[in-house]
Structure 1
Amino acid sequence: MAEKEFRRGDHVSWASHSGRAHGVVQEKLTERTRVRGHTVNASPQAPQYRIRNDDSGRDVAHHPEVLRRERE
Structure 2
Amino acid sequence: MSDKFRPGDAVEWNSHGGIAKGKVKKKLTSRTTIKGHQVAASMDNPEYLVETGQGGQAAHKPGALRKRPG
TM-score (norm 2): 0.91
CA contact (8 A) 1:48 1:61 kept: yes
Runs of at least 4 residues off by over 3 Å: none
CA contact (8 A) 1:3 1:65 kept: no
Q: Show the counterpart of 1:40.
A: 39
The gaps in structure 1 that reach 5 residues or longer are none
Q: Deviations over 1:13-52 (max 9, x none)?
A: 0000111000000000000001111100000000000000
Aligned residues: 70
Matches within 5 A, 1:44-59: 44-54=43-53, 56-59=54-57
Q: State the alpha-carbon separation in 2 of the partners of residues 9 and 53 from structure 1.
A: 12
RMSD over equivalenced CA pairs, Å:
1.7
TM-score (norm 1): 0.89
CA contact (8 A) 1:51 1:61 kept: yes
CA contact (8 A) 1:8 1:27 kept: yes
Q: State the alpha-carbon separation in 2 of the partners of residues 3 and 62 from structure 1.
A: 17
